[in-house]
């Protein structure tokens, strides 16, 4: 147990409990047939439980619920992994009863403890949780020695109640993270790494606490941090200068954590994120859609009427602060007629409504910049739309 | 009783196929069809080559990335390709990627295309069965795949099946098994429902330690969409790599310059149609494929509208084809507007039918002119593209549009260009001249030999000429410049003005430069840039029916609705509705009559009056009757 604790600093209490919950002897009955491990992702739930089960040499299967979203898939997966046999051996499983008969058919289970670890249980549907309700009864009747461990990131209402035991994994504290990160990368130069973490953690701690992502960031940033030291530009303890060196990368990586794996990409990243190549009219159509969904229709006459060009000029200056206020509100839906009216008001030239133009509207819908609002079947004659493009995107398009 | 309802099958008579075949045979024999296929095939082969060349860099990058990627347990590599929004062109790009992958990377590729109302289960089943059964075009067409899925229902593929299969195939292959990769291509991310794609990727991530997945994701818009559609949870499991594809405007330009705007292809499109097609491209869809389809449409129409157009063929075939011309066709040729013009010029009688020899000669002349024309258009492009304000545009196509329909040398913009050219520095002029000479040389046309000689002479003299040494200008100013001696302010001012207007003394270089530009505009551009549409027989080679193209490519729903209502004959083509004047006939469909009557009134219409006039037209027998027949009333109420 001590070794486990050393490996996972900051989790001593949880490890102690888990250690107690899992019996030493294989023939012993489990204390609770359901254990919930609950806490945000990146707090060591999976790693600890796997490690402990491994150390205690228990027979266990590990299933990630991402891949099985319904009852049948989950059951077949459990049976498959438990008995190492093909699906055809068990046939189709449509209900809990099928599952139990299959378990019976497969042979005696009561002799040894079987652990089933289910990860990401929040992806399971409510119907699947019923399975466990029934299973609980069956386990009692048949005397099977089962222990199902749920690992849950988010709180789910349908968690198995009753005989389950819930263990909470809280977020790591700053010092704990520091210790863990030191532990995780033992081959980095100790002193430099230590000073790096000293500077790095406070700056990201507010935005990111997920351990996996932090490790990733460290892997990305530390080589850059180290580089000037290797080249001899700065001294090892010149933290402020060294940190200034990685600041641009750090800032970028807080917003786009997952893109900055490659350093070369980060340079032209800005260009790629904001460029959107749209045909000429589509650009205007998108702008019109944006204006239509964020400016209330009562201002239409004021902004878009063709009385004078001066007013039109005014519109552009007036709409920007206005949009800032309204962008806090969700976009409103607008009928297609209004969209076209605004479109012709901003494009300054008169042309007919052609099929090409209308097809561009559908392509915008396809690109998920504009969405159809309301029931599509009801509104064949006068469909309504909403513009869901981001303001930053609109800004670049408008330029 | 129950049995009677069962016997409904669609029976397709077997003869229909034969008839089709006959029709095809008949088409093959037609001369025009043969030359049409010839031309189009040559287009297509070139296009294919070019599209491969253009996307080669991107594809190589992607393939190299997949090839090089070394798998770690932590992440699934995702190659994100920003493809731009020209959706119809994507298929082409991804099919090339697919073939390249299969050739170069040791692995299995699965193509995942959007499918309506799909569920996670189906996607997984499709992908797994695609890997196991080895058919990589999953979901390409709905029906066959549904069958596949139904067949596979018994086995029920899941990712764990895939894992088993993967382990087995590793065992059996033993050699090179380290680099075996499972590649999933998702060409169009936007058309997938977010949640499902997310779940699918999460499901894949479960196996990331055990199977080497590579995902190639086509994104049409921008990076933002990745952030907005995937949660942190999902994104943290991938390592994204970005690839940017060529923008489609560049693609279009190269396609145009290499395929359509060359002298190799006999078929030419008039400037206006060309302008319309490029406008549609730039303003609306950004789709090169659509553009090419437009040109194909032009080519087809060109052969259809007139029988004379079989004369459109490559240079070598001209003599063969002109020999086959029948008497009828020759008369048709002789009444072409350009030929009539030609006859007037040559003072031939109006009703004379042209000899085959003459037709051949004229056609060859036109061919030769076009081959020169295209080269010179490129030369002028080389000269003018970098001018400030770019009066003639920055692309070859813009100059082509200008030059095709009218003589470009007479336009204002052309003259403006030459004024701007005069202000260029020596180095710039020399550089441009060199480019031009190179273009001319590479064209290998015998008609340029002389020009090249002259241009290289100019190049030499310009290079040698001194910028500072002043040569006496040919026109000497009679008055001496005496600004210093002036009595009053106004006199001084006047003298200054005179001085400005006086001809400055030119340096040697400037003199030579003026000579050079005079040569350029008078002897080089003017004769060679004559608009081909002024030549006799241009109708044969240049497609210029703007009306047809407009009708087909600029669909205007409201206007066409109006036309249909106003004049049903336009679409129905039935005898009963044919009316020459603007009258309303009884035989019109009811809705058309109602619409026309409604047009006659102003903004508002009295329902009773409307009904009355409606019945006046429809119910001719009962005109005097005050009461309206309910049978007549019904369609209007409806």
| Record: contact B221-A369, CB cut-off 8 A | yes
| Record: contact A353-B232, CB cut-off 8 A | no
B300, B394: one domain: yes
Q: Chain B partners of A393 at a C-beta cutoff of 8 Å?
A: 222, 224
B217: CATH: 3.40.50.300
B240, B265: one domain: no
Spatial contact of A165 and A21, defined as CB atoms under 8 Å apart: yes
Spatial contact of A332 and A386, defined as CB atoms under 8 Å apart: yes
Closest residue, chain A, to B233 (C-alpha): A41
* Whole-number pLDDT of residue A247: 74
Range of the domain at B573: 557-637
Q: Is residue B260 part of a domain?
A: yes
Q: Is residue B314 part of a domain?
A: yes
Strand-pairing partners, residue B82, are B219, B244
Q: Chain B partners of A367 at a C-beta cutoff of 8 Å?
A: 85, 190, 220-221
B298, B397: one domain: yes
pLDDT in tens, chain A (399 residues): 777 777 787 788 888 888 888 877 766 777 777 888 888 877 888 888 888 888 888 778 888 887 776 777 788 888 777 777 666 666 777 777 787 787 777 666 555 667 888 887 777 766 677 777 777 777 777 777 778 888 887 766 655 555 677 888 888 888 888 888 777 776 777 777 877 787 777 777 777 777 777 777 777 777 777 777 777 777 766 777 777 777 777 766 665 555 544 444 444 444 445 556 677 778 888 888 888 887 777 777 666 665 544 444 444 544 454 545 555 677 778 888 888 888 887 777 666 667 777 777 877 777 777 877 776 666 666 778 887 777 777 777 776
* Chain B from 193 to 232: CB within 8 A of any A CB: 199, 202-203, 205-207, 220-225, 227-229, 232
CATH 3.40.50.12140 at A2-168, yes or no: no
Count of pairs with CB atoms under 8 A, one residue in A, one in B: 138
B331, B385: one domain: yes
* Whole-number pLDDT of residue B4: 38
**Domain-ending residue, one of B494, B511, B540:** B540
Burial of A239 (0-12, 13-18, 19+ CB in 10 A): middle
Spatial contact of B84 and A278, defined as CB atoms under 8 Å apart: no
Of A41, A275, A356, the CB nearest to B222: A275
- Say how many CA atoms lie within 13 Å of A44 toward its Cβ: 26
Closest residue, chain B, to A208 (C-alpha): B232
Q: Given CB atoms, is B283 within the 8 Å cutoff of chain A?
A: yes
DSSP string, B75-139: -EEEEEEE--S-HHHHHHHHHHHHHHHHHHSSEEEEEE---TT--HHHHHHHHHHHHHH---EET
| Record: contact A277-B84, CB cut-off 8 A | yes
B209, B320: one domain: no
* Whole-number pLDDT of residue A317: 46
Tokens of B281: 């491209």
* ipTM associated with this complex: 0.77
B184, B264: one domain: no
Selected residue of B221, B229, B243, B560 to mutate for chain A interface (largest A Cβ count, 10 A): B221
Q: What is the largest CA-CA distance in chain B?
A: 125
Q: Which residues contact A359 (CB under 8 A, 6 or more apart)?
A: B284, B285
Selected residue of B160, B193, B201 to mutate for chain A interface (largest A Cβ count, 10 A): B160
B153, B45: one domain: yes
* Whole-number pLDDT of residue B460: 81
Nearest chain B CA: its distance from A233 CA (Å): 31
**Domain-ending residue, one of B473, B505, B540:** B540
Measured between alpha carbons, how far is A395 from B492 in angstroms, rounded to an integer? 57
B62, B104: one domain: yes
What residue spans of B385-466 are helical by DSSP H? 396-405, 412-422, 426-443, 449-464
Q: Given CB atoms, is B241 within the 8 Å cutoff of chain A?
A: yes
Q: Is residue B73 part of a domain?
A: yes
Selected residue of A368, A370, A376, A388 to mutate for chain B interface (largest B Cβ count, 10 A): A368
Q: Chain A partners of B555 at a C-beta cutoff of 8 Å?
A: 354-356
* Whole-number pLDDT of residue A309: 47
Q: Is residue B512 part of a domain?
A: no
Q: Which is nearest to B48 in space by CA: B92, B104, B87, B84?
A: B92
B191, B97: one domain: yes
Nearest chain B CA: its distance from A22 CA (Å): 26
Q: Which residues contact A354 (CB under 8 A, 6 or more apart)?
A: B554, B555, B556, B557
Local structure of B351: helix, strand or coil: coil
| Record: contact A272-B222, CB cut-off 8 A | yes
Closest residue, chain B, to A353 (C-alpha): B556
Residue carrying the six token digits 């035991």: A165
- Name the stretches of chain B with pLDDT < 70: 1-30, 71-74, 85-89, 114-118, 134-156, 173-179, 222-224, 246, 263-264, 307, 350-351, 466-487, 499-507, 577-584, 602, 620-628, 632, 635-638
| Record: contact B284-A282, CB cut-off 8 A | yes
B261, B408: one domain: yes
| Record: contact A257-B87, CB cut-off 8 A | no
**DSSP assigned state of B564:** H
Of B191, B203, B227, the CB nearest to A66: B203
Residue carrying the six token digits 């008949």: B26
Spatial contact of B158 and A67, defined as CB atoms under 8 Å apart: yes
The count of structural domains within chain B is 3
Measured between alpha carbons, how far is A142 from A155 in angstroms, rounded to an integer? 31
B264, B127: one domain: no
Q: Chain A partners of B74 at a C-beta cutoff of 8 Å?
A: 216
* Whole-number pLDDT of residue B487: 65
Burial of B174 (0-12, 13-18, 19+ CB in 10 A): exposed
């Amino acid at each position: 147990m001590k070794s486990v604790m050393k490996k996972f600093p900051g989790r001593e209490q949880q490890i102690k409990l888990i250690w107690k919950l899992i019996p030493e002897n294989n023939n012993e009955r489990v204390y609770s047939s359901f254990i919930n491990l609950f806490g945000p992702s990146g707090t060591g739930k999976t790693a600890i439980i796997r490690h402990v089960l491994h150390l205690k040499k228990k027979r266990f299967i590990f299933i990630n619920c991402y891949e099985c979203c319904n009852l049948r898939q989950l059951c077949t997966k459990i049976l498959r992994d438990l008995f190492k046999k093909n699906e055809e051996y068990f046939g189709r499983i449509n209900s809990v009863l099928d599952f139990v008969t299959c378990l019976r058919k497969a042979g005696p289970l009561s002799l040894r403890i079987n652990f089933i670890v289910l990860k990401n249980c929040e992806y399971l549907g409510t119907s699947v949780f019923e399975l466990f309700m029934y299973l609980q009864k069956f386990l009692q009747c048949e005397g099977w020695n089962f222990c199902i461990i749920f690992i849950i990131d988010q709180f789910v209402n349908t968690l198995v109640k009753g005989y389950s035991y819930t263990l909470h994994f809280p977020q790591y504290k700053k010092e704990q993270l520091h210790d863990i990160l030191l532990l995780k990368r033992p081959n980095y130069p100790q002193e430099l790494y230590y000073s790096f973490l000293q500077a790095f953690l406070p700056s990201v701690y507010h935005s990111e606490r997920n351990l996996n992502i932090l490790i990733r960031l460290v892997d990305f940033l530390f080589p850059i941090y180290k580089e000037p030291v290797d080249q001899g530009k700065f001294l090892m303890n010149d933290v402020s200068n060294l940190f200034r060196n990685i600041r641009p990368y750090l800032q970028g990586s807080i917003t786009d954590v997952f893109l900055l794996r490659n350093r070369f990409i980060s340079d032209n990243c800005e260009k790629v994120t904001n460029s959107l190549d749209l045909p000429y009219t589509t650009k205007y159509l998108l702008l019109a859609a944006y204006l239509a969904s964020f400016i209330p229709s009562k201002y239409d006459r004021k902004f878009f009427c063709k009385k004078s060009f001066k007013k039109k000029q005014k519109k552009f200056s007036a709409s920007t602060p206005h949009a800032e206020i309204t962008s806090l509100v969700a976009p409103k839906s607008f009928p297609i007629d209004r969209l076209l009216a605004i479109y012709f008001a901003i494009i300054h030239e008169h042309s007919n409504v052609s099929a090409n133009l209308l097809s561009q509207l559908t392509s915008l819908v396809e690109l998920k910049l504009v969405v159809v609002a309301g029931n599509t079947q009801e509104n064949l004659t006068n469909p309504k739309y909403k513009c869901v493009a981001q303001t930053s995107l609109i800004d670049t398009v408008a330029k | 009783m129950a049995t009677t309802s069962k016997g409904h099958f669609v029976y397709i008579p077997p003869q229909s196929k034969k008839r089709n075949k006959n029709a095809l045979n008949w088409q093959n024999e037609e001369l025009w069809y043969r030359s049409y296929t010839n031309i189009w095939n040559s287009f297509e082969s070139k296009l294919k080559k070019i599209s491969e060349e253009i996307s080669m860099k991107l594809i190589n990058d992607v393939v190299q990335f997949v090839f090089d990627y070394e798998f770690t347990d932590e992440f699934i590599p995702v190659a994100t390709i920003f493809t731009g929004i020209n959706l119809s062109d994507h298929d082409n790009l991804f099919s090339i990627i697919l073939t390249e992958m299969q050739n170069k990377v040791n692995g299995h590729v699965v193509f995942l295309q959007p499918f309506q109302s799909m569920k996670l289960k189906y996607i997984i089943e499709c992908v797994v069965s695609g890997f196991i059964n080895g058919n990589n075009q999953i979901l390409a067409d709905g029906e066959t795949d549904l069958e596949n899925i139904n067949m596979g229902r018994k086995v029920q593929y899941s990712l764990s099946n895939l894992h088993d299969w993967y382990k087995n195939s590793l065992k059996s292959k033993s050699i090179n098994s380290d680099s075996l990769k499972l590649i999933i291509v998702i060409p169009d991310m936007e058309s997938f429902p977010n949640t499902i794609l997310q779940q699918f990727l999460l499901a894949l991530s479960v196996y990331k330690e055990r199977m080497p997945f590579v995902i190639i994701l086509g994104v049409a818009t921008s990076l933002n969409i990745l952030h907005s559609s995937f949660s942190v949870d999902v994104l943290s499991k991938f390592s994204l790599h970005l690839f940017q594809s060529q923008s489609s405007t560049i693609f279009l330009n190269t396609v145009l310059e290499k395929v359509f705007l060359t002298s190799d292809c006999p078929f030419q499109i008039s400037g206006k149609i060309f302008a319309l097609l490029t406008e549609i491209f730039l303003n609306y869809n950004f789709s090169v494929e659509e553009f090419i389809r437009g040109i194909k449409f032009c080519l087809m129409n060109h052969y259809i509208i007139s029988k004379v157009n079989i004369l459109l063929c490559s240079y070598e075939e001209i003599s063969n084809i002109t020999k086959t011309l029948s008497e009828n066709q020759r008369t048709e040729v002789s009444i072409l507007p350009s030929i009539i013009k030609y006859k007037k010029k040559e003072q031939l009688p109006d009703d004379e039918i042209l000899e085959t020899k003459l037709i051949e000669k004229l056609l060859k002349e036109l061919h030769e002119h076009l081959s020169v024309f295209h080269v010179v258009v490129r030369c002028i492009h080389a000269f003018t593209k970098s001018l400030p304000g770019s009066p003639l545009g920055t692309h070859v196509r813009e100059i082509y549009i200008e030059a095709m329909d009218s003589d470009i040398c007479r336009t204002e913009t052309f003259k403006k260009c030459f004024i701007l050219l005069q202000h260029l520095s020596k180095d710039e002029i020399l550089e441009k001249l060199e480019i031009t000479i190179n273009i001319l040389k590479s064209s290998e046309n015998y008609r340029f030999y002389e020009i090249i000689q002259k241009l290289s002479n100019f190049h030499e003299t310009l290079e040698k000429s001194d910028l500072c040494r002043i040569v006496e200008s040919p026109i000497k100013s009679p008055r001496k410049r005496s600004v210093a001696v002036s009595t009053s302010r106004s006199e001084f001012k006047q003298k200054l003005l005179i001085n400005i207007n006086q001809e400055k003394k030119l340096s040697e270089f400037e003199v030579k430069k003026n000579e050079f530009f005079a040569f350029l505009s008078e002897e080089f551009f003017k004769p060679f840039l004559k608009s081909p549409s002024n030549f006799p027989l241009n109708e044969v080679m240049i497609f210029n029916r703007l009306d047809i193209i407009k009708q087909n490519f600029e669909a205007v729903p409201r206007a066409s609705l109006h036309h249909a209502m106003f004049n049903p004959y336009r679409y129905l083509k039935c005898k009963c509705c044919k009316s020459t004047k603007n009258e309303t006939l009884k035989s019109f469909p009811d809705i058309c009559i109602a619409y026309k009557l409604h047009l006659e009134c102003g903004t508002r219409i009295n329902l009773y009056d409307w009904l009355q006039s409606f019945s006046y037209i429809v119910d001719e027998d009962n005109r005097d009757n005050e009461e309206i027949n309910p049978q007549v009333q019904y369609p209007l109420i409806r």
